[in-house]
Structure 1
């Protein structure tokens, strides 16, 4: 009897549940697990106390697509669609709220981060300016030393 890891089982069961809702036969053929085993895994997830929360089975892209798909529907059609997908209308409302909230004003943390970034850029510019001045001073001293050495060498020969 083959033993499968929990991560593998979760991945396969997720394919069997909405939004993908793949056919048992297709998944069985692809992964090499019997249909009976797949049915048992799916039933355990749907009935068990450790069952997956609906929002965990739906990817963020699938959630947005569901919100877009149901946006133009009336309440009755939306309820029918939700039953077919194994969702509650409250899930759709929450996903819609999350999508709208994501489009809102930048978070306060973003403003703080931007202020810190500006401060860091100013510090780096000051340091760069200081180093440029030091480099220019060093170059000037080297040129003066070279000229001084050239003058005194010429004077020694006479």
Structure 2
């Protein structure tokens, strides 16, 4: 994974956050930075910008919920402007909230495989311990029946 200088990253983030809203693909072609990296940088810049303006995650969610209560798009956009929420912020915050809810309780394939493997190992260990206990019990019982006649 390539490492970029902080100043280069900051310059690209300013460009991505500018009012021109250049397509990520165009910026990627020009700079050589992968689109997914640019998406991450833009998200980081937006989060930093939102936090610097006092937007906590709770306030962001309240903004999304408040806007979604308004069914008329024109009225919703007017409400967003009155709350100092940009349309792109609204869309990104809504998507982040949905993604967070989708991830709640979801197990990834890697976690699932690791969990199944761990269960198998624990079950195998438990069987070995059961066999050992059964053998020890048999030895104790066998030895208990023998009484020394001396």
Aligned partners of 2:112, 2:56: CA distance in 1, in Å? 30
Counterpart position of 2:142 = 144
- Asked if 1:60 corresponds to 2:68, the answer is no
| DSSP-derived class of the 2:85 partner | coil
Look up the SS of the partner of 1:53 in the other structure. helix
Residue 65 of structure 1, CA deviation: 2.1
**Counterparts in 2 of 1:110 and 1:82: CA distance versus 1, 3 Å:** same
1:125 lines up with 2:115 in the alignment: no
TM-score, with normalisation over the residues of structure 2? 0.56
Structure 1 length as normaliser, TM-score? 0.53
Structure-2 separation of matches of 1:61 and 1:98? 12
Residue 67 of structure 1, CA deviation: 1.3
Higher relative contact order (CA 8 A, sep 6+): 1
In the alignment, what sits opposite 1:11? none
Asked if 1:91 is matched to 2:54, the reply is: no
8 Å CA contact 2:50–2:56 kept in 1: the answer is no
Tell me, which stretches of 5 or more residues in structure 1 are unaligned? 1-51
Does the C-alpha gap of structure 1 residues 108 and 68 become closer, same or farther in structure 2, counting only changes over 3 Å? closer
Q: Counterpart of 2:8?
A: none
- Displacement of 1:82: 2.4
Shift of 1:78: 2.5
Aligned-partner Cα distance in 1 for 2:120–2:73: 55
Question: In the TM superposition, what are the counterparts of 1:9-158 in structure 2 within 5 Å?
Answer: 53-54=49-50, 57-71=54-68, 72-104=70-102, 110-148=108-146, 150=147, 152-153=148-149, 156=150
Q: Which moved more, 1:84-93 or 1:100-109?
A: 100-109
Cα drift, residue 55 of structure 1: 5.1
Whole-angstrom distance in 2 between the partners of 1:59 and 1:119? 39
